[in-house]
Amino acid sequence: MSQFDVTVIGSGPGGYVAAIRAAQLGFKTAIIEKYSTLGGTCLNVGCIPSKALLDSSEHFENAKHNFAGHGIIINEPQVDIARIIERKNEVVDQTTKGINFLMDKNKITVFEGLGSFESATQIKITKNDGSSETIESKYTIIATGSKPSSLPFISLDKERVITSTEALNLKEVPKHLVVIGGGVIGLELGSVYLRLGAQVTVVEFMDKIIPGMDGALSKELTKVLKKQGMKFMLSTAVSAVERNGDTVKITAKDKKGEEVVVEGDYCLVSVGRKPYTDGLGLEKAGVELDERGRVKTNDHLQTNVANIYAIGDVIKGAMLAHKAEEEGVLVAEILAGQKPHINYNLIPGVVYTWPEVAGVGKTEEQLKEEGVAYKVGSFPMRALGRSRASGDTDGLVKIIADEKTDEILGMHIIGARAADLIAEGVIAMEFRASAEDIARSSHAHPTYAEAIKEAALDATAKRSIHM
């Protein structure tokens, strides 16, 4: 029987990063993945393919609506959805192959097949053809991720009533896409098809979209997406989804309790994701789950079985690739006797709509609830020279700092390249910077990042220069 120091089950961003870090630290490492391609949800049916489609659809949107304003005259652009999907597949293929390269480079043994515990130290790998082998591992890291969840009364036919996975592979642009759930995935994929010409209606149970993010971002994003043509039915609880031929009928109750019906040709159900532990044989190893079906872990991400750890979407916390990656590194370093740490307050959240939305640290709503005395500085993107040059004038930067100490408690951005800009907030907060620290740092001109400096000036002493 093959023996390993560390075996990782699942090759998503949590799993493959854990394996690389373990190998770097000198452990004899294996990774088990049930699919033929490595990279998990993120690389195959999540982060990367969705961004590829967002980029393609953004090019189309620009060609259709923005080129003429820049003085570029082209014939009416057309969508070739087959090519858009094919290009997305090429991007996924290149990216997942990159993970195979990294596994080879780090001398990590890759097993293709379903990993399931035989005991706390033995894992059976069952291949598609039914053959199997069992390996022995001193430590195991569970990184089996998550799957799309649904509502009990919805039957997903995966043709017209679909999850994000199918939405990444449509053969036509929907005429009317009804999205159930105004969270990150629904808004990103809704944006893709809106830009490609679909009518898009988002039905959301809460009274706002992206409910976990700062209220200012949610408000601004609603305004901008409405301007782009997206329709919203907020405070609306879906009660039935029925498919009849090429039509999907969504029945819901609005906030007055009145029945509303919306019909489309596709319905994307994006109401969240659930941890995935099917077929893992956790009972044979004695690993416990929590009340929400997640693998239960302590602060060191160790399960109730001492040599078994768990990371990423399958445990508590934000379901984000970079959170999973940090946890993969943390566990490998703990196994090597190091004392790593993750500040979960500083895991940024991003929505890749256009404009992009990103936030880190506390929201204003959270600080109010916690009774913390704070001050707010903000700056609109439209006041930046860079934004006017590119034409991306929607959005704002909002910085929340401690009323007394000026320490930055939260940074919230909606605007062009917010996903990249938020790194400044993360770094500043990792080093416990004050708003004044940012305000006194030179920011290249003209850049979108100048809005961060201006918001920091506003938070420090209401002294932004360009407003």
Residue 13 binds ligand FAD (CB under 6 A): yes
103 is in an annotated binding site: no
Give the residue carrying structure tokens 């399958």: 314
- Report the chain's C-alpha Rg in angstroms: 23
Least Cβ distance, residue 465 to ligand FAD (angstroms)? 34
Q: Does 313 help bind ligand FAD (rule: CB under 6 A)?
A: yes
Question: Is 320 annotated as contributing to ligand binding?
Answer: yes
| 3-class secondary structure, 295 | strand
188 is in an annotated binding site: yes
- The interface mask with ligand FAD, positions 386-425, x = CB under 6 A, is ----------------------------------------
In this structure, are residues 41 and 146 in contact, taking their beta carbons and an 8 Å threshold?
yes
Residues from 326 through 365 that contact ligand FAD (CB under 6 A): 352
Nearer to ligand FAD, 319 or 400 (CB): 319
Q: In 1-94, which ranges are E strands?
A: 3-9, 29-33
Q: Which of 20, 29, 40, 222 binds ligand FAD (CB under 6 A)?
A: 40
Task: Examine residue 32 and tell whether it contacts ligand FAD (CB under 6 A).
Answer: yes
Determine whether the annotation assigns residue 319 to a binding site.
yes
For 328, list phi and psi in degrees, rounded to 5.
-60, -45
426 binds ligand FAD (CB under 6 A): no
The reply to whether 443 belongs to the active site is no
Q: Are 16 and 103 in contact (CB under 8 A)?
A: yes
The answer to whether 182 contacts ligand FAD (rule: CB under 6 A) is no
Q: In whole angstroms, what separates CA 267 from the centre of its chain?
A: 21
34 contributes a contact to ligand FAD by CB under 6 A: yes
Check 59, 65, 70, 445 and give the catalytic one.
445
Q: Is the Cβ of residue 271 or residue 376 nearer to ligand FAD in the bound state? A: 271
Distance between CA atoms of residues 405 and 414, nearest Å? 26
Residue 93 CB: number of other CB atoms within 10 A? 13
Nearby residues of 433 by Cβ (< 8 Å), 6 or more positions away? 407, 408
Partnered with residue 242 across adjacent β-strands are: 249
Is 313 annotated in a binding site? The answer is yes
Residue 185 binds ligand FAD (CB under 6 A): yes
Question: For the chain, how far is it from start to end, CA to CA, in angstroms?
Answer: 69
Residue 321 assigned to a binding site:
yes
Which position among 19, 91, 92, 145 is part of the footprint of ligand FAD (CB under 6 A)? 145
Residue 225's Cβ-count burial label (10 Å; 0-12, 13-18, 19+) is buried
Residues at the binding site for FAD are 51, 115, 144-146, 313, 319-322
In the annotated binding site for NAD(+), the residues are: 181-188, 204, 272
Residues with catalytic roles: 445
Binding footprint of ligand FAD on the chain (CB under 6 A): 9-15, 32-35, 40-42, 46-47, 50, 114-116, 143-146, 164, 185, 276, 279-280, 312-314, 319-322, 324, 352
